[in-house]
Amino acid sequence: MQSSIIYILLLIANVLCLENENDYNDMFNEINYSKLRVNLIKNRPDEFVNIVKSVGTISDINNVLRKIKTDSIKHGQSYNSYISSEKNNDLLEVTSESPPTVQISEVCLNHSAAVDEGYEQQVPWALSIIDAAGKPSSNILGGSTKWLGAYDECLAVTTAQPVNGITYNFKGQYCTASLSITGDMAKYIRRITVGICVPNSCNEADVKYLINTANNTFKASSIECQEPDKPLDDRAIIVLVVVCLFIAVMVLGTLYDIVFIQRPKWETEDQMASSEYEVKYSKKGEKASLLDNADSKIVHEPGLIGKILLSFSVYTNGASILRTEQSKDTITCINGIRFISMTWVCLGHGYLSSFSIADNIATALPKYKERISFSIITNSFVSVDSFFTLSGLLLTYLVMKNLKKTEGKINWGMFYFHRFWRLTPPYMLILMVYVSLFPYIGSGPLWEKDGPEPNYCKDAWYYNILYINNLVDDPKKQCMVWTWYLANDMQFFILSPLILLPLFYSHLAGVGVLLVFLLGTWISTGVVSSYYEIPAGGFAQTEHRSKIYDRPYARMGPYLVGMYTGYLLYKTGCKWRVNKWLNLILWAVFAALACLILYGLHGDDNGSVTLSNEVAALYNTVHRTIWGVCISWVIFSCATGNGGFINTILSWKAFVPLSRLTYMAYMTHMIVQSYFRLTKQRLVFLNDMETIYEFLGHICLTFAVSFVLSLAFELPMMGLEKIIFKREPRKR
């Protein structure tokens, strides 16, 4: 036991290491700590040499037991009586006149000693425990500071061979130790996280005691032992039953659809085809008779239960997703923009996921940031602003057409309810399944046994259902943090009638209200950014989530731009011709602005240029709005026939079904990436090809999962909405 804990952990402590960061901000700070460690070697080589030498002096693998023996002798008590002075069944305790309290169970202490003895006798299972522990590797100064060990090897340990004639009955248990450094070295070493293998008779308190007793260099701040065979709790069982019910209804709905709805249609089509073949050799009068007979086939009319079942039909819903036909008034280029924006979101988050499991982050990230092409990643956060622009544009375009059709009469209560119904049930169902079942579907050294969400979202889910989770600062009250976008979008939607109605009745009044919102957004963002000295764009924005990144006042700009663009499309009827040369100039101007937003911060990102607080505040204030203007131009130009080959690309029919999945893809892409990251048993060496392969896998799996969840949750809810409100499907 001490071989795995004491030897390995002391070794790690003395070769400089870092905690496995759960926060992306810690990951970037590690680069600065690496620089400090390099300077330590350059400026104080003697101290570093002493640290390295200390590794070689750690040869006594019985440190913990020896320390306990020493303490017992100091207090005039034999070691055997010391460990037998148990006052309860679990912990060894002594009075104030006795040796210091030993907060460890006797069975863990005995099994720990057995591991030491087994190691000395080269017993295979004891060697496996030592071998499974995490060990330092090369490139420590470059960021290789996470040593996970061999997770599967540890769990496979069973005490088959006896030690000194005794066969111990325990198995290997994998634990993760988070250690804090003490002394002067704390300025160069932050914390340590290392995988260790211990007997499963030791609980987390036992392991913590063993580590803290062994040395004065570091102290265990937390221990987490994995539970690979964790039984389902009541919450998970209930959710699993709900999932099974959904599957059962989907199966019944599909069978009902095929047997009673689709099969008669297929038979009619076969008769029609047969009739058309036969009339080629018959008289014209006979043709009408044959076709009439085919059309007279009785079609089943479903009742209420039948319609509900049809809402869950995989056949019909799948065909609805995969259908590429669209109505004539559809702005087709939006499909391509949706899909490309979603892949960009996945790419940016994919890089961040790779950073957190890379063993060369301290050297790889600075090299990445030297490349101007990497700005597409550091500024990938504007990809979400593309969605805000699309949302505002489509909302305004459709509402304006509806207001004209109904002469300004809209049931605003139903207006809000339909939006809430379309988004919320799938959202809550995914949250429920994810939070309840995710902890049970994987394992590994990085796996979080209670799932990624604090306290199973017990204190946070109602913020999500109310769409105010973007206003919550407490990390313990945040659930599915990436859904801050949904909260902002819903808040903008709720405020939209304040702009839509004035804009419909009076262009001047509507523009005035819109400008008031825009100026309010700019002023509040600029003031907050300047006051807190928030750096411009890039990864720095994530360090200020609660001040600027998630907040609606900082994200409404592109939504407002999209709203006005939707109004222009409505007023022009998507028909606006422009001179060829002016069109080229406008494309060049907006392309240049977009490139300025994406690549203009390259010098600031790589440290070659430092922007003043005023310039950074200006950038933070307007860059999202300018990006929305660029996206709006692309849509407006393509929708009015001025997009050329760009419109051809963005309107590719293959984008149509993919764009329908973007809502589900946004909600699930981080779950897919988290599963990949948390089930890794080895860290990765970060390079472009590694990230490209991961990205392609993330995209394929995300949209595959989204397709299934759309069939299970999203489209059934839309079908139920039509039943409840007796809405007829739009004619195409």
pLDDT in tens, 185-212: 555 556 667 788 889 988 888 888 877 7
Residue 562 token pair: 């999209």
For residue 196, give the 3-state DSSP assignment: strand
- Tell me the pLDDT band of 410, cut-offs 50, 70 and 90: confident
Query: What is the predicted pLDDT for the residue at 183?
Result: 61
Under DSSP, the state recorded for 358 is B
Query: What is the predicted pLDDT for the residue at 15?
Result: 33
Amino acid found at 302 = P
Residue 288 token pair: 């009408």
Inter-residue contact 125 to 160 (CB < 8 Å): yes
Is 298's pLDDT higher than 80?
no
- In the sheet that 172-181 helps form, which strands lie side by side, from edge to edge? 191-199, 172-181, 218-225
Radius of gyration of the CA atoms of the chain, in A: 32
Query: What is the predicted pLDDT for the residue at 180?
Result: 72
* 14 vs 368, higher pLDDT: 368
SS (H, E, C) 115-166: HHHHHHCCCHHHHHHHHHCCCCCCCCCCCCCCECCCHHHHHCCECCCCECCE
- Tell me the pLDDT band of 133, cut-offs 50, 70 and 90: confident
> For residue range 501-550, what is the model confidence (pLDDT) as tens digits?
999 999 999 999 999 999 999 999 999 999 999 988 766 666 677 788 89
| Residue among 372, 368, 355, 367 nearest 30 (CA) | 355
Alpha carbons 346 and 313: distance in angstroms, whole number? 30
- Tell me the pLDDT band of 60, cut-offs 50, 70 and 90: very low
Give the lowest-confidence range in 117-121, 337-341, 422-426, 456-460. Answer: 117-121
For residue 402, give the 3-state DSSP assignment: helix
Inter-residue contact 553 to 521 (CB < 8 Å): yes
* 177 vs 592, higher pLDDT: 592
Residue 316 token pair: 């019909």
Is 582's pLDDT higher than 70?
yes
Is 3's pLDDT higher than 70?
no
Alpha carbons 205 and 527: distance in angstroms, whole number? 48
Query: What is the predicted pLDDT for the residue at 228?
Result: 81
- Provide mean pLDDT across the span 552-576: 95
Query: What is the predicted pLDDT for the residue at 276?
Result: 62
Cβ of 367: how many Cβ atoms within 10 Å? 13
| Residue among 191, 175, 179 nearest 224 (CA) | 175
Query: What is the predicted pLDDT for the residue at 652?
Result: 96
The residues facing 192 across adjacent strands are 179
Q: How distant, in Å, are the alpha carbons of 79, 212, 503, 625, 661 from that of 384?
A: 64, 46, 26, 12, 16
Amino acid found at 5 = I
Cβ of 483: how many Cβ atoms within 10 Å? 22
* 529 vs 25, higher pLDDT: 529
Chain CA centroid to CA 377, Å: 16
DSSP-H helix ranges across 234-332? 234-256, 263-278, 284-295, 304-311, 314-322
What is the torsion angle, in degrees rounded to the nearest 10, for the CA atoms of residue 151, residue 155, residue 159 and residue 161?
-60
Chain CA centroid to CA 620, Å: 24
φ, ψ at 223 (rounded to 5°):
-130, 135
Inter-residue contact 33 to 18 (CB < 8 Å): yes
Share of the chain above pLDDT 70, in %: 77
Residue 237 token pair: 């069982």
- Provide mean pLDDT across the span 470-480: 90
- Tell me the pLDDT band of 279, cut-offs 50, 70 and 90: low
Is 237's pLDDT higher than 80?
yes
- Provide mean pLDDT across the span 59-77: 42
The overall average pLDDT reported for the chain is 81
- Tell me the pLDDT band of 74, cut-offs 50, 70 and 90: very low
φ, ψ at 137 (rounded to 5°):
-120, -170
Give the lowest-confidence range in 85-94, 306-315, 509-518, 677-686. Answer: 85-94
Is 732's pLDDT higher than 90?
no
Q: Hunting for tokens 């599915």 — which residue is that?
A: 480
| Residue among 616, 606, 601 nearest 533 (CA) | 616
Query: What is the predicted pLDDT for the residue at 24?
Result: 43
